[in-house]
Amino acid sequence: MSDHAHNTGPMLASPRCGAKIRSGGACRSPAVRGKRRCRMHGGAAGSGAPKENQNARKHGLFTGDAIAERRRIQALLGEARKFLQAMK
């Protein structure tokens, strides 16, 4: 490798960001040192939502209780469908 101003070898050999981009592929920017994402996808210091961000809690749709309740309802509906099929 040469030591001129355009020595891009270390950058090209660095780990890449693993974020998914809008077109569906992976981001090809170099990851921030010690992180798995580039500066645009959350690798920069101070990026992301604050801890215990109350503004991000809009609904309880994905809480453990809500997910468990939906699973119980789906199981009950499955049993009802089987019962109705057996009655025919």
Residue-wise pLDDT for 32-62, tens only, equals: 888 888 888 888 887 766 777 776 667 888 8
Query: How many alpha carbons lie under 13 Å from residue 81 in its C-beta half-sphere?
Result: 6
Residues 6 or more apart whose Cβ sits within 8 Å of residue 38: 17, 19, 27, 29, 30, 31, 32
- Predicted confidence at residue 8, as pLDDT, reads 79
Residue type present at position 8: T
Where are the domains positioned within the chain? 10-42, 59-88
- Predicted confidence at residue 3, as pLDDT, reads 60
* 1 has pLDDT over 60: no
DSSP state for residue 65 in the 8-state scheme? H
Q: How many residues does the chain have?
A: 88
The model's pTM is 0.44
pLDDT in tens, 9-27: 877 888 999 888 889 898 9
Exposure string for 27-54, b = 16+ CB within 10 A, e = fewer: bebbbbeebebbeebebeeeeeeeeeee
